[in-house]
Amino acid sequence: MLEERNVGCLIVESDEKLCGVITDRDIALKVTGAQRDPQKTTVKEIMTADPIRVFEDRDLHHLTSLMRTYHVRRVPIVNEDHKTVGIVTLDDLIALLGEEMSDVGKAIAEGFPQENSL
């Protein structure tokens, strides 16, 4: 599924509620690296059970604080019923920050008159 969707992690749910996260790194280290049989190893055996999560109404500062505190690159987003509604990755935040910095740069550039070159 990771390969089909071209993603690095998947949410694991039980009864429509978040119960784990499995990453390509989990597979590499806990299956391939440990020389386990991938045909006999279950997702439950190698996933991160009961991962940290954030409610969808929390702000980005709270999210980034959790990521920094728990040293994670991916955080599932849940609604008030604890159902998974999405996931935010460090790559998502870097892309957002890049866009924000670009907008700041444009605003600064537009705020200063251009000098005529002689």
Q: Which fold has domain 1-51?
A: CBS-domain (3.10.580)
What's the pLDDT score for residue 51? 95
Give, in order, the Cα–Cα distances in Å from 68 to each of 10, 58, 64, 77, 95: 21, 16, 6, 16, 17
Take residue 19 and report the two structure tokens written for it: 């119960």
What's the pLDDT score for residue 116? 58
How many CA within 13 A on the CB side of residue 18? 24
Right CATH for 52-109 from 3.40.50.300, 3.10.580.10, 1.10.1740.10, 1.10.10.10: 3.10.580.10
Q: Which residue has the higher pLDDT, 69 or 108?
A: 69
pTM confidence score: 0.78
Q: State the pLDDT confidence band at 77, using cuts at 50, 70 and 90.
A: very high
Q: Which residue has the higher pLDDT, 98 or 118?
A: 98
What's the pLDDT score for residue 114? 63
